[in-house]
Structure 1
Amino acid sequence: MTTLLGYHNGNQVRVLLKRYLRWVIVAAAIAFLLHTLAGHWAEVTAIRLRPQGVALLALATGVSLLAHGWAGWVWSWILQALQQPVAGVWSMPVYLKTNLLKYLPGNVWHFYGRVRALKDLGIARGAAIVGVVLEPLLMANAALMLGLASPTPYWPGQILVLALALGAVHPRWLNPIMNRLGQAKVGADDSEPLPEAALHHYPLKPLLGEMGFVLLKGLGFALVISAIGPLPRELLLPVVSLFSLAWLAGLVIPGAPGGLGVFEAIAVTLLQDLLTVGVVLSAVALYRLVGTLAEAMGAGLAVLSQRLAPPPSAT
Structure 2
Amino acid sequence: MKLLKAWRSALPPWLSLPTLPSPPGGLGLWFTLLSFGFLLAALASHGRQMLQLSLDGQGWLWLVLGLGLSLLSLVANALGLAVVLAWLGLQPRWAALVRMYLDTNLRKFLPGGIWHLTTRLALLRDPAGPLRAVAPWPQALAAVLLDPLLAAAAALALVALDGWQAGFGLLCLLPLGLLLPRWLRPLLTALERRQARRLAASPQSPPQEEPPPIPSLPGGYPWLPLLSLLGFVLVRFGGFACCVAAFDLQGSLDWTGWLASFALAWTAGLVVPGAPGGLGVFEAVLLLRLGSQIPEAPLLAIAISYRVVVTLADLVAALTARLDQRLSR
- Taking structure 1 as the reference length, what is the TM-score of the superposition? 0.84
| Structure 1 segments unaligned to the other structure (5+ residues) | 1-15, 311-315
The correspondence of residues 161-200 of structure 1 with structure 2, limited to 5 A, is 161-163=172-174, 165-175=175-185, 189-190=207-208, 193-194=212-213, 196-200=215-219
CA separation of 1:233 and 1:81: change in aligned 2, threshold 3 A: farther
User: Structure 2 residue aligned with 1:117, among 123, 133, 143?
Assistant: 123
User: Structure 2 residue aligned with 1:127, among 122, 129, 139?
Assistant: 139
Does structure 2 conserve the Cα–Cα contact (< 8 Å) formed by 1:50 and 1:229? no
In 2: Cα distance, 1:86 partner to 1:55 partner: 36
Which residue is 2:6 aligned to? none
1:160 and 2:171 are equivalent in the alignment: yes
CA separation of 1:176 and 1:280: change in aligned 2, threshold 3 A: closer
1:146 and 2:139 are equivalent in the alignment: no
Bigger radius of gyration among the two: 1
- Superposed displacement of residue 199, structure 1: 2.2
CA separation of 1:78 and 1:231: change in aligned 2, threshold 3 A: same
In 2: Cα distance, 1:281 partner to 1:53 partner: 16
User: Structure 2 residue aligned with 1:280, among 299, 321, 325?
Assistant: 299
In 2: Cα distance, 1:88 partner to 1:124 partner: 19
In 2: Cα distance, 1:175 partner to 1:221 partner: 34
Further displaced range: 219-228 or 171-180: 171-180
Does structure 2 conserve the Cα–Cα contact (< 8 Å) formed by 1:224 and 1:287? yes
Identity across aligned pairs (percent)? 34
User: Structure 2 residue aligned with 1:103, among 99, 102, 109?
Assistant: 109
CA separation of 1:245 and 1:193: change in aligned 2, threshold 3 A: closer
Q: Deviations over 1:5-52 (max 9, x none)?
A: xxxxxxxxxxx9564544322221111112122222332121111331
In 1: Cα distance, 2:252 partner to 2:169 partner: 25
Which residue is 1:76 aligned to? 82
- Superposed displacement of residue 270, structure 1: 1.2
Does structure 1 conserve the Cα–Cα contact (< 8 Å) formed by 2:85 and 2:92? yes
| Root-mean-square deviation (Å) | 2.6
In 1: Cα distance, 2:145 partner to 2:101 partner: 13
Q: SS at 1:232's partner residue? A: helix
Further displaced range: 206-215 or 267-276: 267-276
The correspondence of residues 205-284 of structure 1 with structure 2, limited to 5 A, is 205-232=224-251, 235-284=254-303
Residue type at the aligned position of 1:47: L
Does structure 2 conserve the Cα–Cα contact (< 8 Å) formed by 1:218 and 1:241? no
Q: Deviations over 1:225-283 (max 9, x none)?
A: 22122422963332122111111111112312111110000011112234211111011
- Taking structure 2 as the reference length, what is the TM-score of the superposition? 0.81
In 2: Cα distance, 1:22 partner to 1:140 partner: 17
CA separation of 1:203 and 1:45: change in aligned 2, threshold 3 A: same
Q: SS at 2:89's partner residue? A: coil
CA separation of 1:33 and 1:139: change in aligned 2, threshold 3 A: same
Q: Deviations over 1:91-139 (max 9, x none)?
A: 2111111111111111111110110110104111111110010011110
The correspondence of residues 36-115 of structure 1 with structure 2, limited to 5 A, is 36-115=42-121
1:34 and 2:40 are equivalent in the alignment: yes
In 1: Cα distance, 2:185 partner to 2:272 partner: 25
In 2: Cα distance, 1:162 partner to 1:237 partner: 16
In 2: Cα distance, 1:221 partner to 1:263 partner: 12
CA separation of 1:308 and 1:235: change in aligned 2, threshold 3 A: same
Q: Deviations over 1:56-82 (max 9, x none)?
A: 111100000000111101111001111
Q: Deviations over 1:163-213 (max 9, x none)?
A: 2x112222222235668979xx97783389546313223111111111111
Q: SS at 2:98's partner residue? A: helix
Q: SS at 2:161's partner residue? A: coil
Does structure 2 conserve the Cα–Cα contact (< 8 Å) formed by 1:74 and 1:88? no
| Structure 2 segments unaligned to the other structure (5+ residues) | 1-21, 201-205
Number of residue pairs aligned between Structure 1 and Structure 2: 291
